[in-house]
Amino acid sequence: MANRSRVTIREVAERVGVHPSTVSRVLNPATRGRITPEIAEKVTKAANDLGYTPNQAARGLRTNRTRTIGVLIPDITNPLFPPIIRGIEDALGESGYTAIIGNTDNLAVRETEAVSTMRARQIDGLVLATARRDDPLVSQCVADGLPLVLVNRTADADGVSSIVNDDALGIALAVSHLKDLGHTKIAHIAGPLELSTGEARQRSFLEALQKEGLSPADCPVAETNAFSEDEGLRTAAELFAEGLSFTAIVAANDLIALGAYEAIADIGLRCPEDISVTGFNDMPFVDRLSPPLTTIRIPHYELGREAARRLVELIETPDSSARATTLRPELIVRGSTASPDR
């Protein structure tokens, strides 16, 4: 291969003795048919020999399509997101697209910033894993006609495509599992209600109580300000401080569940002997905790794949309409849930 990627379509054309546009036509699958097979053959060979690689910047400038998409993630360091990103990148790769990732740390400023850098790079579309229920960025993108898919979290605005897990099913599985074990007093530590996941899981918890015939009066709900271990600890501790007598906690996600573990240990109780705990997400290594965490497994990788596939569809079929898709989660029973003491 020559120094850097400096072989141009012109050099290939000269080598074969045809016009650059002929080379372009050969190399573009859509127009290859119009070229005499014999010439096409020679061009292809010359391109390979010279180690030609198309300059995407030039192509993008001409076609107004960069085959690059932006992905906004709260924090790649949160083990929830890498599988989603993998799914996105793997699916994009299959369609010849590439992703640019931006971490926003859940900061609106950083989101705006990231989107403008990405737009400067002429992204063809955007996958947001950062959506809040009421998210100006979402409305902005919709207004600007930028192809957009939300993943993991959705937004209240309609007309937006989204791929999320079925929170209602997940929570129902958790509550039903606890009820089957004999729990009747179950607490819920909810995530932030400005996120669709926080709100949906809380709503689903209340619905599940009703479906299972459990009394909401015995089943307290507390809200956190973030899906974090610290907030889980703080909120669980508050719940205990109120002197309520629940025997199980449905945490809105695994990190909150970890916080609950600590709160339980702090007041001298044991999980699962005294209090059962369920999480949500099935993060890596929660099977190695003590006790191993009973949780709801979300197909994160598939969430990412689907989001990318949907986005490519949106980009390449401009008249395709927005759809909200939901993927099925699964209950994973481990050691953090058991029958309540009686």
Residues within the interface to a copy of itself (CB under 8 A):
1-5, 53-58, 60-61, 66, 68, 75-77, 79, 82-83, 85-86, 89-90, 93, 98-103, 116-117, 119-122, 140, 144-146, 258, 284-285, 288-290
Environment class of residue 341 by beta-carbon count within 10 Å: exposed (0-12), middle (13-18) or buried (19+)? exposed
Environment class of residue 225 by beta-carbon count within 10 Å: exposed (0-12), middle (13-18) or buried (19+)? middle
- Residue 185 touching DNA (CB under 7 A): no
Return all residues near 59 (Cβ < 8 A) that are at least 6 apart.
none
Return all residues near 188 (Cβ < 8 A) that are at least 6 apart.
201, 202, 205, 219, 220, 221, 222, 249, 250, 251, 252
For the chain, how big is the Rg over CA atoms in Å?
Answer: 26
243, 295, 180, 214 alpha-carbon torsion, rounded to 10°: 50
- Residue 188 touching DNA (CB under 7 A): no
Stretch that binds DNA, among 57-65, 216-224, 264-272, 303-311 (CB under 7 A): 57-65
Report the first-to-last Cα separation within the chain, whole angstroms.
74
* 3-state SS, residue 190: strand
Residue 313 CB, nearest approach to a copy of itself (Å)? 19
Residue 186 near which of DNA, a copy of itself, none (CB within 5-8 Å, type-dependent)? none
What is the per-residue binding string for DNA in 21-50, x denoting contact by CB under 7 A?
xx-xx-xx--x--xxx--xx----------
Size of the site for DNA (CB under 7 A): 28
Residue 85 near which of DNA, a copy of itself, none (CB within 5-8 Å, type-dependent)? a copy of itself
Residue 147 CB, nearest approach to DNA (Å)? 18
Give the DSSP letter of residue 131: -
CB 86 within 8 A of CB 30: no
Looking at beta carbons only, is 182 or 291 nearer to a copy of itself? 291
What is the per-residue binding string for DNA in 61-90, x denoting contact by CB under 7 A?
xxx---------------------------
Looking at beta carbons only, is 32 or 86 nearer to a copy of itself? 86
Looking at beta carbons only, is 14 or 218 nearer to DNA? 14
Tokens encoding 75: 């924090």
Residue 62 CB, nearest approach to DNA (Å)? 4
* Footprint of DNA (CB under 7 A): 6, 8-10, 17-22, 24-25, 27-28, 31, 34-36, 39-40, 52, 54-55, 58-59, 61-63
